[in-house]
Each structure stands twice: as structure tokens, then as C-alpha cells.
Amino acid sequence: MAMALQHSAVDWAYNVQRTDSSGLGTRNGTFWPRGRTLGGSGAINSMVYIRGNRRDYERWRSLGNPEWGWEDVLPYFRKSENMNTPSLAGGAGAKYHRTGGYLNVEQRIDNRTLNAIIKQAAVELGYEWIADFNLDRHVGYGSSQHTVIGPTRCSPAKAFLTPIRNRENLHVIKHALVDRVLIDERNVATGVSFVIEGSQRVQQVTARREVIVAAGAINTPQLLMLSGVGRADELQQFGIPVKVDLNVGGNLQDHVAVPLVFKFYNLPDSTTDEQFAQINELYNYAVLNQSQAIARTGFLDTMAFLNTKNASDPFPDLQVFYIGLPKGGRYSATLANNHELSETISASVQEADRLTPAVYVHITALNPKSRGRVKLASTQPRDHPMIEANYFENSDDLHVMVQGIRLQQRLFQTKAFRMAGATLHRIDIPGCRDQVYDTDDYWECYVRQLTITTYHPAGTAKMGPATDQDAVVDSRLRVRGIRGLRVIDASIMPLVISGNTNAPTMMIAELGSDFIKHDHADL
């Protein structure tokens, strides 16, 4: 389960730099978990499979990346996929989905009672119900898809490495940390140096064709900068010889988020029974290995993509997730701990589901205008880099969050929510006590205090044409000024897509692999 993997040995466990405008109610600045294991963050995430929409990729193309329009990337989404929900694979879905790929995708329902209440409320408010967010309609409420195989996670490692683990041309070294890319005097990448955990001996491996960096939006820029690829002034500050002066680490984007909690005082008795049954299924599967039922993530099936400015706009600027919390306080405690909320706020959050079932609501601003930066903190690869998220640097992002809260409050006007005895849990936030509750000023304060992430950092090795001064890689993902070096991960996104980044990152890898094969046709 994603919550249990945060702050664990397979998590890099980063924190962004605290500012006076965001994350004020956290202990150490907004917490950013990142996968430190085979499969990367796709091995510790919440397994949501969302591709984004046509406009996302048409924007990439319009920025000077001709291979990245919607019709160009759609075949590479399909190439990976094994859509294991028959109702989605056929009919209108046949253009968008396929079976037979390495990555298993399924649609499922964890808590039918709570899903039904949210769905009924959304329909009452006039929202369109969307059966598949990965087709051509996106704004409304609908059902999510997940990268799972029955009761188990289908991480990128399980999907793509396990089937080929016996190939002679595949060699995986675990517990190894790369400290730099080896770049010779001609600016050709020749290999990497690395250290295996528990050893002080630096080892090297050379590349006959290319070095591929796929370390993610935080570790990729850190590694490039340690290797002499980055902003000259910053590299010189650390005494690192400059191989090429590029805006590595800039253009950082993330889907900033804020939590709400709904309490339900009048749910059917069967809801509690269902929640206990889900917990028992997970125990039986994980501990006794006796169940073939789906191991529950907590995520409800229902998700929303909304537009806060124009309800009829076909493209969203807001995404909402819902997570069921059985009464007893255990799950809210995990959430509060994972978000590293301050003591008073954490205690208040944990009151939400202590005596009644609740729903955690994760409101996410898509298409952020604020930009951050990843910087080196030292020349030591094990030291965490400095992450400046710069949340709400552009006030438009803050306004989207407040309007997202207002849209969620509309649910309480519905018959479905009234019948379920739904109320909004009021979290005690010391920093907002002087604000009048439920005013826009109060909610702006709330968002600045409870600033969290949707775990989607991107853009720190920006893809773009030679005319783009901020571009680090070209449209075929080759690092500018260095031969034989490519970046293939979420850091190349010029603009973060409108949804979860896991599926788009795998698409980037599929398309990037074809670039490699094309450029080395003699392979």
C-alpha cells in the first residue's frame, strides 16, 4: 500500500524548502516521497492510471517538439497496455486501449457504498459521469483505473523487467548509487561511476552506444549537475568542471494539493462490515496468502476532473481523489504522519475518523503556473538536493485551490450527502484562527498551511528546440552539447500533464526506446 511505503527504506523521503507562502502547517516543509527501488516511484505510488488529455501533448508539440503530439503518443500508451477490464477494451475504447502489453491495467471498486454516495451527489449537481477518463472526454466525475494485477501492484519493474529477467543482455545491479556520468574531453558520455551500498569502492561501467539517465525529476538533475551538466554559476560554486551550461533543475513543476475530510454520520451498517471485510482480505492475502480478492488501496473508484473557471471547458484545471477512512482513527493518523503535519493539526485531522467513517479528499491543481528548481546542496551524491517547489509563486494556482474547495462544498447541498449525514470536518489550524471561517481569506490561509503534493514533480530536464534557452534535451531526448547521453523520465516534460504522471512516464520510455533503436539501426 502506498501509505505504508512512504518514509520506508524504499523511499528517498525528500522535503521541499519551506517558504512563507506554503507548507506552513508541516513540520519540515512539504514532504515528497520518491521511489528508491526497482520500478522507481511506480513501485510505491497509488497505482492510478491516467494519461492526461489531447491538449497536454498538443502543447508539447507546439513548443517545438514535433514527435510529441497526441496522435504521436497515443500508440505508445497502447503499446504498453494490457487493459484487463473487458468493458473498457472494446467498442469506443478500442482506439485507446489494447490487450497484450506488459502493463496490466484494471478498473475496480473498493467501497461500493461510499462510491455510490459520491456518484449520486455528482450526478445531482449536473456533472457528467465518465466511464473512462482515458478516452476523449475528461471533465466530470467517473471511475479510475489502476496498474494492478488482481490483488497485487503492477509496478514498472514487475511489468517490464520480470518478463525479460533471463535475457542475456540485461544485467541489474541493486543497491548501487551512481555518482556521476563519465564524460570525456570531447563531451561524449562514455559510462557511469557508482558505489554499491556498504562499500567505499568506486566502480565504473562503460557504454558502447549511449548512457540513459532515468532517475526521475529530482535525481536526474542532481546526477547531471554532479557530472558537469548544469548552470555554470552553480557548478562553479561547488568546484565542478562545467561540461555544458544548461538550465538543469529549472522548470520544476508539481501538482500542488490540499486535503479536506468529509465525515459521514448516517451510513448503512453494511458499510462498516464492508470496510472490515476489505481489511481482512488484505490480511489474508499479505500474511496468510489465502485470498485472491483485490488488495485494497483505500482509493475509492470515483475521481473527478473539473474546470474551476468554466464548467463547459473540455479541459480540466483540477483533479480530485477520494480515499475511504474506516472509523477508528488509524488511517487518518497515517495520512497526517505521511504529510508531516504539525502536532496540533495532526491531532485535529485524526479526530475526523475516530468515531465515524470519513473520506479523505485530495484536491489537486493541474496546469500549475508556478515554477521551482532543484539545486545541489553539496557534491556528495547521497546528500539530498535542495528542492524549491515555489508553490503559489503565481497566485493563480492558489485561486484554483480555493475554487476547488468551493466546488467540493457544493456536494453538501445534495440529497445524497444529506441522507448520509455528511459534514465537513473542521481542522484546527493555529495559523488560521484569526481568519473568519469559510471566507476566501480563510481558505487561502488553509491552503498555505496544508500544502501537500500529489507526487508529480516534472520538467527539470526540459525538452525543447535549440531556440529554447531553458531546454536541456532535444525532442529525441538527447542532452544538448553531450553526445551519447539521453534522459528518459518525467524530467523531460516541458509542461506537466493534466493528471497522474506514472502512465505518461512509461509512454515517454516507450517512445524514447524507439528513438534509440532508430538512431542505432544496426543494433
Residues identified as active-site: 456
Cα dist. 402→232, 359, 418 in Å? Answer: 39, 19, 23
What is the CB-side half-sphere exposure of residue 101 using CA atoms within 13 A?
Answer: 24
506 vs 49, 93, 102, 459, 509, CA distance in Å? 11, 20, 11, 15, 5
DSSP assignment of 329-384? SHHHHHHHHHTTB-HHHHHHHHTTTTSS-EEEEEEEE-S----BEEE-S-S-TTSP
* Distance of alpha carbon 183 from alpha carbon 479, whole angstroms: 12
Sign of the CA dihedral with 112 first, then 118, 120, and 122 last: negative
Comparing CA positions, the residue from 249, 175, 253, 219 lying closest to residue 12 is 219
CB–CB of 513/498 below 8 Å? no
Positions of E strands within 109-188: 129-130, 140-143, 148-149, 152-153, 176-183
Name, in order, each residue with C-beta under 8 angstroms of 168's C-beta and a sequence gap of 6 or more: none
Cα four-point dihedral sign 156, 161, 164, 169: positive
Cell of 58: 498538443
Distance CA 204, CA 178 (A): 9
Residue 65's contacts (CB-CB under 8 Å, 6 or more residues apart) are 463, 464, 465, 475, 494
Q: How far apart are CA 348 and CA 297, in angstroms?
A: 23
Compute the distance between CA of residue 503 and CA of residue 510 in angstroms, rounded to an integer. 11
Distance CA 375, CA 310 (A): 37
The dihedral through the CA atoms of 164, 296, 428, 256 has a sign that is positive
| Ordered DSSP codes for 391-402 | TTSSHHHHHHHH
- Angstrom CA distances, 171 to 166, 325, 486, 517, stand at 9, 42, 19, 19
